[in-house]
Chain A
């Protein structure tokens, strides 16, 4: 729609100079390429004061380019921190939007708001995973000031405690490696305060679980080795499943491509759950923690699993809804996280 408007504007601007009967073949090489430069003014969202006026902005400039220009005048606000809107009530514009396709005249007004200091998602993910890994090991090795001094640096006599440490550490090492090498994170950044919130939760939960599992007075599971083995198998099965799903999701998108695709089952049996579920990575994650709970028979672990389930269900439902909105032919058999249930 805007191309027509743009052509109309082009025509208006060129009106003064254009001859009424154009002779295209002769005229075109002579007529210099008429680029209609845009004028961009950036206003503060709350106070509406004019922060910056940019003239001679290329029509093919993206929102990201404009953010870069804004950053030059206000070095404190790097592009990731900026939120530009066309209207105070609408959503923020995405970085990829091109100036000339936006519903603006040749003078475009953007409303700026500061999103606060930002961190990349990768940074936050790593911090969230390294903490629990290290903290659990501190409890496992019974460093001083945690338990009674007579237990410092001692080792538990129960096999399940060693197994639990291996599983927990394996889970977080896997997560760190996936963040570094497997995940393709599409969102750029998140606000700084999120790292305190997220890390606080993950670190405190890990410490709380580790305290009881590695406690000198830990009680082994009621059904003994059978229960431990069952928990272990569930845990391992779901870890492999979770990894398989992450690989499928990675291979779904080519780097740099913005095309969204529906994930489908591959030849790997662990991915066959895609027939029934939109977000099997969360399903497998839940399964892992259920396995860990069964293996350790520890109430804090059960509570952590419950909270994780609630949070992941919220995420899964959101993802499922966006799939349904994006694709009209989305498979109808799929639920968001638990097959046929939710």
Chain B
């Protein structure tokens, strides 16, 4: 979500001013957004730590942070809007897929299927998400403020190597654990006959979602690896020149 602003120095004065104001406004909004999200996920991290320290177990942890999690994860939809308007130079589809998969996990798996909320896999992906999001949003914040410490950049482009696969494992195990409960309760499903002449089986839908990780995960993972090489490798060259 790097800011796409260009320096106004190249344009004529009128455009210059217009661009400056537009860029200033978008930068201000993006900075505020990223600070807010960093703070939100920090709050979540703190809440999770405090719960675990106090209770000594992860049972009931999800319930205690569910509302905050839902709020901040859903708010991330705004990022899709950023890409769509163009103030952030990322593909709308890539961002859309990522945000939607997160929202799906939160609303349609973890929150709605109570029986799996105490599973270890849920805690696993929660921890992974928290660390990833704090790193990511603080990276964007520092970048927008033009004061990016190297360790933040390093973290953003190296943590994912381990965190991403761990997160996927956590998500897949959670969905797998949810399957028997979905089948038994028939939730979110619609059977024939009905006047709309359509049917939907949430059980098979979840299986298809799990299978979709197979083509999608490698693509996103290698995309991040390529970005890492470009960003970190590029940095090395600059240092050599200096």
What is A's interface to B at a CB cutoff of 8 Å?
Answer: 212-213, 215, 217-219, 222, 296-300
Cα A158 to Cα B156 with chains together (Å): 61
Task: For B191, give the chain A residue with the smallest CB separation.
Answer: A217
Residue numbers in A under 8 Å from B196 (CB-CB): 297-299
The 25 listed contacts between A and B (C-beta, < 8 Å) are: A212-B192, A212-B198, A213-B197, A215-B192, A215-B197, A217-B192, A217-B193, A218-B192, A218-B193, A218-B197, A219-B193, A219-B194, A219-B195, A219-B197, A222-B195, A296-B197, A297-B196, A297-B197, A298-B196, A298-B198, A299-B196, A299-B197, A299-B198, A300-B197, A300-B198
Task: For A209, give the chain B residue with the smallest CB separation.
Answer: B197
Quick one: which of B185-234 are within 8 Å of A by CB?
Answer: 192-199
Task: For A300, give the chain B residue with the smallest CB separation.
Answer: B198
Q: Taking the nearest CB of chain B, how far is it from the CB of A61, in angstroms?
A: 42
Task: For A208, give the chain B residue with the smallest CB separation.
Answer: B198
Q: Taking the nearest CB of chain B, how far is it from the CB of A160, in angstroms?
A: 11
Cα A213 to Cα B193 with chains together (Å): 11
Inter-chain contact B194/A212, CB cutoff 8 Å: no
Cα A222 to Cα B195 with chains together (Å): 7
Inter-chain contact A297/B195, CB cutoff 8 Å: yes
Residue numbers in B under 8 Å from A218 (CB-CB): 192-193, 197
Cα A340 to Cα B181 with chains together (Å): 52
Residue numbers in A under 8 Å from B197 (CB-CB): 212-213, 215, 218-219, 296-300
Residue numbers in A under 8 Å from B195 (CB-CB): 219, 222, 297
> Contact residue range for chain B?
under 10
Q: Taking the nearest CB of chain A, how far is it from the CB of B201, in angstroms?
A: 13
Task: For A218, give the chain B residue with the smallest CB separation.
Answer: B197
Q: Taking the nearest CB of chain A, how far is it from the CB of B121, in angstroms?
A: 32
Cα A55 to Cα B38 with chains together (Å): 65
Inter-chain contact A212/B199, CB cutoff 8 Å: yes
Residue numbers in A under 8 Å from B198 (CB-CB): 212, 298-300
Q: Per DSSP, are chain A's interface residues mostly helix, strand or loop, or mixed?
A: loop
Task: For A222, give the chain B residue with the smallest CB separation.
Answer: B195
Residue numbers in A under 8 Å from B192 (CB-CB): 212, 215, 217-218
Task: For B194, give the chain A residue with the smallest CB separation.
Answer: A219
Q: Taking the nearest CB of chain A, how far is it from the CB of B212, in angstroms?
A: 16
Cα A242 to Cα B94 with chains together (Å): 38
Task: For A303, give the chain B residue with the smallest CB separation.
Answer: B198
Q: Indicate the member of A212, A213, A218, A299 with the most B CB atoms within 10 Å.
A: A299
Given A213-B197, A217-B192, A219-B197, 11 extra CB contacts under 8 A? A212-B197, A212-B198, A212-B199, A215-B197, A218-B193, A296-B197, A297-B195, A297-B196, A298-B196, A298-B197, A299-B196
Residue numbers in B under 8 Å from A298 (CB-CB): 196-198
Cα A218 to Cα B198 with chains together (Å): 9
Q: Indicate the member of B192, B196, B197, B199 with the most A CB atoms within 10 Å.
A: B197
Residue numbers in B under 8 Å from A213 (CB-CB): 197
Cα A213 to Cα B194 with chains together (Å): 12
Q: Taking the nearest CB of chain A, how far is it from the CB of B180, in angstroms?
A: 24
Task: For B190, give the chain A residue with the smallest CB separation.
Answer: A299
Residue numbers in A under 8 Å from B193 (CB-CB): 217-219
Q: Taking the nearest CB of chain B, how far is it from the CB of A301, in angstroms?
A: 8
Q: Taking the nearest CB of chain B, how far is it from the CB of A159, in angstroms?
A: 16
Residue numbers in B under 8 Å from A296 (CB-CB): 197
Cα A266 to Cα B195 with chains together (Å): 43
Cα A167 to Cα B239 with chains together (Å): 70
Q: Taking the nearest CB of chain B, how far is it from the CB of A316, in angstroms?
A: 23
- 4 closest pairs, A vs B, by CB? A299-B198, A217-B193, A217-B192, A298-B197
Residue numbers in B under 8 Å from A219 (CB-CB): 193-195, 197
Cα A299 to Cα B198 with chains together (Å): 6
Task: For B197, give the chain A residue with the smallest CB separation.
Answer: A298
Q: Taking the nearest CB of chain B, how far is it from the CB of A72, in angstroms?
A: 39
Cα A299 to Cα B193 with chains together (Å): 13
Q: Taking the nearest CB of chain B, how far is it from the CB of A207, in angstroms?
A: 14
Task: For A296, give the chain B residue with the smallest CB separation.
Answer: B197
Q: Taking the nearest CB of chain B, how far is it from the CB of A173, in angstroms?
A: 24
Cα A300 to Cα B194 with chains together (Å): 13
Q: Taking the nearest CB of chain B, how far is it from the CB of A233, in angstroms?
A: 21
Task: For B198, give the chain A residue with the smallest CB separation.
Answer: A299
Cα A298 to Cα B195 with chains together (Å): 8
Interface string of B89-116 (1 = CB under 8 A from A): 0000000000000000000000000000
Cα A152 to Cα B197 with chains together (Å): 20
Residue numbers in A under 8 Å from B194 (CB-CB): 219
Task: For B200, give the chain A residue with the smallest CB separation.
Answer: A299
Q: Taking the nearest CB of chain A, how far is it from the CB of B169, in angstroms?
A: 31
Residue numbers in A under 8 Å from B199 (CB-CB): 212
Cα A217 to Cα B192 with chains together (Å): 6
Q: Taking the nearest CB of chain B, how far is it from the CB of A303, in angstroms?
A: 9
Cα A66 to Cα B197 with chains together (Å): 57
Cα A299 to Cα B194 with chains together (Å): 11
